[in-house]
Amino acid sequence: MFSKRSKNKFKDIRSDHSNSASRSPIASLDLSGGSLGRRKIMRSLPKAIFGLVLLLGGVIIINVLLNYDFVGLGDSKASGGAVSGDLVKWHTVTIDFQGPNLSEVQSDPNPFLDFRLNVQFKAPSGKTYNIPGFFAGDGNGGGSGKVWRARFTPGESGNWEYTASFRSGPQVAIDLSPTAGVSDSFDGQTGSFNIAPLDTNAKGFRSMGRLEYVGLYYLKFADGPYWLKGGIDSPENFLGYKGFDNTVDQGGIIPNFVHEYSTHVADFQQGDPLFTSADTGYDSKGIIGALNYLSSKHVNSIYFLPMNLGGDGQETYPFVSPNDKTHYDISKLDQWHTVFEHATSKQIALHFVLNEQEEGNRNWLDGGTLGIERKLYYRELIARFGHNLALKWNISEENRFDTNTTIQFAQYINDLDEYDHPIAAHTHPNDFTQYEQLKGNPNFTATSIQYDVNQASSHVESWRQKSLESGQVWVIDMDENNPAGVGLTNQNASELRKRALYDIYFSGGNLEWYFGYHDLPLGGDMRTEDFRTREEMYNYMWYARKFMQDNLPFWEMGPIDGLVDGENNSVGSAQVLAKPGSIYAVYFPSSNDADDRTNGFLDLSNASGNFTLKWYNPRTGNFEGTESSMTGGSKQTIPPAPSDFGNDWVLLVTDGSYTPGQGIDPVPTPEPGGDPAYIANNGLIVIEVEKLNYTDGWNEETLIPGYTGQGYLHWVGGDFFSTPGNGLIEIPIWIEEAGTYNLRLRNFHDHPDASEENDVWIKIDEGRWVKTFSSAKDEWTWNTSYEFSEDNKVPASDQLSAGRHVVYFSGRANGFRIDRMHMYLDSVPDALNLSLPESTFATPGGGTGPAECNITAQLECNYELDDPPALNVAWKITNDNIEFGSEQNSGKIVVRINNIEDGWFTEGSDYWWASNYQEFANTGKDFRDADWNYNILPDTIYRAWVSVYAKDDPDNIVCVTDELPIACESQDDPVDPPVDDPPDDPIEPPDVPIDPPVVVDDPTGSPADDPTGDPSVTDYPYQDTTNNNTYYVDPTTYQYYQTSNLPTTALSSAQKRFVIGSIMLILGSTLFFFPKIRSVIFKKNSTMRESV
């Protein structure tokens, strides 16, 4: 239970007690008989009795202190730990136990090494998970305390049970034996919790579940689709961030460097997790913003080192100090946890690379062996972060550990990781010597290949086949592109699209991009600060993934390049991913030119039936041209691409048997808030451009008839055919539904040459500027096309994710005029109708703020229902723009009444909302409810407001009435209504009424019975942080009380023991240490006995 030194301390204490006991009154009693002996006994007995009372009272108090926490006198602690979290399938559940009070720097005992928490979770199905826990300090990131924590992500709904195993002893934490060490503190505590079913609308991966190895070439979400990885491999020191505690360069190859990601501070969104380094004062906005940006570009995996001491960067480590390898920095790891949870919510998988190839880093722990330090390092990472749903363990970058050591490392990780996350080892460039020895080993389920781009396809196809033959199929991850000094830059995305991107995907692999070695501002593997420098490739990678996820059962398909021949192979051969006889995807790095109007031949000899052909543009992410067909049974000529001959194209050939969309992984749900934007309504945005904030060079005019709105914009700032950015106009938009949005400008130009004065520069977000032109003249027209090159002109459209975007206009040709801009999905009917209303310009998810309310309300004093009188409330809504039950408003109406003396409170059917009138779809209804009354004080002045709230947003008032004064007077002493102004802020949240106590049916606090109205409350006591109150349930009466209103009779068993022990302690101490008081009492008693 204690270290050897601790046990000796207790032994010394026990020795002192035994010595003192030998000199106690009882020990000195003469029991030989006779009156003298009896008198000695009677004189000594009172002191002995009260000494025992004193001892017993102390024992009771110590017992209570060891086993219970206190609020006021103390609330009984549950038999298990404190459970927190959303309690929904695939959401993180945290259980905190109260154990030994220690410090992160303490060595005897070491809280990380000499104690071990494991928690066994038993699912409703009976399956069990043994999850390692960890020392959490004070539970809030502080390094000292008594909180021991386990994190778990349950994969079943229903009732879960758990049992804590808490053991102590030298180095017990790294011992895999369940019986290692001795039982300690809360060992054996049990509990349970109930998990709600899957929330399909949950953010990030939580709507799909854990990403799992299923014995195939692709990972799959437990409750979702198969997964295609499209991530980044740089910077490897992603966690070397200035906003983390204790993150200091220790002599890396870039002196005194840590990341700031300052360009991504602007990507931080309201509601994102915010913390600040205790050392630098720098906050989390940069790194959180970086994840937001990467997620917005559909980057779904990020590679990083959690410990690079002795390697290149030397600023990333989980320890309290670089050379202290068995004590972990709790606050820093808490901050890492926050960042990883945010990545999960943004659908970004975590690729943990556990070592670098440099000798200093390899030998930093245990000299490169599986010893105490490395085992503890693995355990701490798995215990704190293994619950994340999408995670990969990588033994080492460019692994130089020998094969046996590599297998030992993987085996130990597998033994600790109950979730069976994939494990891999990174290779040297094109070197597969160790893979030949590892193939077939059950500890390894994925590759991590460093490759030359010209060999990418052959490596993927080779290791698919070799792993299949070994009996252990591997997920083929291509994680680092060479040459190492170049990597992916802002100049070579098109080349790598043709040489690597589709070669890997259409050969059946996954990938991450390595950034090479470059100075800032471009940055590379060590010092990338702005992830936008590689945005062109993120777009291409998303177009490729989107094509596969939307159109292919890729997990059932394989690479069969031999099905195509005769193609143009000037850049490379065609790549074919096929499910023979059903569906084929062909990538042509270079389609045939205009003179040779074919792209070779597709062998359909073993197929039958009719097939449809569609061309997909890998540069824009859109299908283009017209569909065609061919018939199975023989080789068929592949028709030419629709345009841009000589460039790369993708051909989809399908018999229609596959239903598209089965492999889609949902795009992250955008977070509302931030600056106002034009809000898309059912896939449509309508903007009158003259209302925009335009700059010099644009004139607002009304000279040409036929315009809509107040006028149109006319570019008179000159010609800028090669230098976009002049006369910049920014148009923020908010998209609820992701998809391909057509962009149309209602435009006019009247130059005699239709190809002159007919265009404007447009770009979206941080994409490229595109010439956007109109081929019609002398009329207002919707004709709008993008010109990517002279041979690549297409109707203007863009693939947009859900969330915020910015459309930019820039003057290009003098004389071009714009009246309106419409953006719309193909599904929108009559999208260019001029009668369509303008889009709302507002804060996304937040409405436009309080509007003119047009609510009439009546408050009446009702003397018939109650004595004292009750207040009845009735109101009528006359706003045309409030549609109850619509997407804009959920129709929740709140009446707030103010007794000037007592402050705010809300009356209604639950804690917050008065009622939910979703059934009233039309406006102008009278609402009257006999239950809407409450007793008020006579002769007291009240004020009332009626407020309407937007959908699911307690902070967003759509409108609120003026003050409605009311006074229910006594019959013989009327009170005049007040005439002063209402309070400055009549919409502040009210306090919870606590008197009289609320009786609940279920003291466990289930959402149906919880008097706080907060469905997240599952346990009592309940802490209301808004009002700084604590509430609990009387276990006898089931009445719900605030701490300040605590009934003195409602004492738990722990409290009763505490009180009894305290009385015994005080009484025993008084009579033991004050002989005069004792002698008076016993002398009196002795006299009484003698008289009797």
What is the largest distance, in Å, between two alpha-carbon atoms of the chain? 139
Distance, in Å, from the CA atom of 327 to the CA atom of 105, rounded to the nearest integer, reads 6
pLDDT confidence bin for 84, thresholds 50/70/90: very high
**More confidently predicted of 934 and 394:** 394
Strands annotated E in 218-264: 220-221, 230-232
949-981 confidence digits (pLDDT tens): 443 444 444 444 444 444 444 434 433 433 344
Average predicted confidence (pLDDT) for the chain: 78
**3-class secondary structure per residue, 333-389:** HHHHHHHHHHHHHCCCEEEEECCCCCHHHHCCCHHHCCCHHHHHHHHHHHHHHCCCC
Q: Which of 296, 340, 326, 27 is nearest to 172 (CA)?
A: 326
Average pLDDT over residues 699-718: 93
Residue 39 falls in which region: left (phi positive, over 0), alpha (psi -120 to 50) or beta: alpha
Query: Across the strands, what pairs with 685?
Result: 823
SS3 content of the chain, % helix, strand, coil (to 5): 20, 30, 50
Distance, in Å, from the CA atom of 68 to the CA atom of 82, rounded to the nearest integer, reads 12
Residues 731/733/738/742 CA torsion (nearest 10 deg): -40
Query: Across the strands, what pairs with 411?
Result: none
pLDDT of residue 992: 33
pLDDT at 219 over 90: yes
Cα 903–907–912 angle (5° rounding)?
90
> In whole angstroms, how far apart are CA 132 and each of 206, 562, 681?
22, 50, 48
pLDDT of residue 26: 32
Q: What is the DSSP string of 992-1033?
A: PP-SSPEE-S-TT--TTT-TT--TT--SSSEEETTTTEEEEE
pLDDT at 34 over 70: no
pLDDT at 1037 over 60: no
288-318 confidence digits (pLDDT tens): 999 999 999 999 999 999 999 999 999 999 9
**More confidently predicted of 464 and 971:** 464
pLDDT at 640 over 50: yes
**More confidently predicted of 706 and 673:** 706
Ranking 437-441, 762-766, 779-783, 977-981 by mean pLDDT, the lowest is: 977-981
Average pLDDT over residues 398-419: 96
Helix extents (H) in 527-618: 535-551
pLDDT confidence bin for 788, thresholds 50/70/90: low
Distance, in Å, from the CA atom of 186 to the CA atom of 166, rounded to the nearest integer, reads 6
CB 258 within 8 A of CB 238: no
pLDDT of residue 710: 87
pLDDT confidence bin for 217, thresholds 50/70/90: very high
This prediction's pTM: 0.62
Distance, in Å, from the CA atom of 650 to the CA atom of 1057, rounded to the nearest integer, reads 77
Cα 760–765–767 angle (5° rounding)?
70
Report the percentage of the chain scoring pLDDT > 90: 56
Query: Across the strands, what pairs with 602?
Result: 564, 636
pLDDT at 144 over 60: yes
pLDDT at 73 over 90: no
Report the percentage of the chain scoring pLDDT > 70: 68
Q: Two tokens at 1081?
A: 């009492």
CB 173 within 8 A of CB 200: no
pLDDT at 444 over 90: yes
Q: Which domains does the chain have, with CATH numbers?
A: 4-73+1055-1091 (no CATH), 82-199 (2.60.40.10), 222-551 (3.20.20.80), 556-654 (2.60.40), 677-842 (2.60.120.260), 855-968 (2.60.40.10), 998-1045 (no CATH)
Displacement of CA 738 from its chain's centroid (Å)? 20
pLDDT of residue 918: 31
The residue type at 654: T
pLDDT at 989 over 80: no
Ranking 415-419, 746-750, 866-870 by mean pLDDT, the lowest is: 866-870
CB 608 within 8 A of CB 595: no
Q: Two tokens at 303?
A: 């590679």
pLDDT confidence bin for 751, thresholds 50/70/90: confident
Pairing of strands 324-328, 319-321: antiparallel
CB 863 within 8 A of CB 869: yes
